[in-house]
Amino acid sequence: MKHLRAVNRKALRVEEHLAAAWGDVFALQQGQGPSQPRPHYPLGCSLVFSPGWEVDSAGGTAGLCQPLERDLYDCYLSCFWPAQVPDHLNNYPDWTSKCATATKDWRNIDLVFP
Partner 1 sequence: MTTYRLAEFHPFRGGERQFLYLVPSGAIFELSDLSAALLRQLEAGERTREELLDALGAQGHPGAEIDEALEEMYQARAIASGAGFEDPPQPAPRPFPLQTIVLNVTNQCNLSCKYCYEFGEDRVATPEGKPKFMDDATARAAVDMLIEQSFGRRAIHLTFFGGETLLNFPLVRRIIEYARERAHAAGKYVDFSLTTNGTLLKPEIIEYLAENQVGVTISLDGPKEMNDALRVFHDGRGSYDAIEPKVRELLKRHGTRPIAARVTLTSQVVDVLKIYRHLKHDLGFHEVGFAPVTTSPVRLYAIGGRGLDNILEQFTELAQEYLAFALRGEHHGFSNVSDTLGELHSGISKAHPCGAALGLVGVGPSGDIAPCHRFVDADAHKLGHVSTGIDRARQNEFLDRGHIGRKPECHTCFARPICSGGCYHEAFVRYGDTGHANLHYCDWIRGWTDVCLGIYGEIAARNPAFLNHFDERKAA
Rounded to an integer, what distance in angstroms lies between the CA atom of residue 11 and that of residue 111?
46
**Does 5 participate in binding partner 1 (rule CB under 8 A)?**
yes
Rounded to an integer, what distance in angstroms lies between the CA atom of residue 13 and that of residue 6?
9
Stretch that binds partner 1, among 1-9, 43-51, 83-91, 101-109 (CB under 8 A): 1-9
Rounded to an integer, what distance in angstroms lies between the CA atom of residue 89 and that of residue 19?
24
**Does 38 participate in binding partner 1 (rule CB under 8 A)?**
no
**Does 91 participate in binding partner 1 (rule CB under 8 A)?**
no
CB–CB of 71/78 below 8 Å? no
**Does 8 participate in binding partner 1 (rule CB under 8 A)?**
yes
Active site residue: 24, 71, 74, 110, which one?
71
Closest CA to 43 of 86, 73, 2: 73
**Does 1 participate in binding partner 1 (rule CB under 8 A)?**
yes
Stretch that binds partner 1, among 31-39, 63-71, 73-81, 86-94 (CB under 8 A): 31-39
71 catalytic residue (yes or no): yes
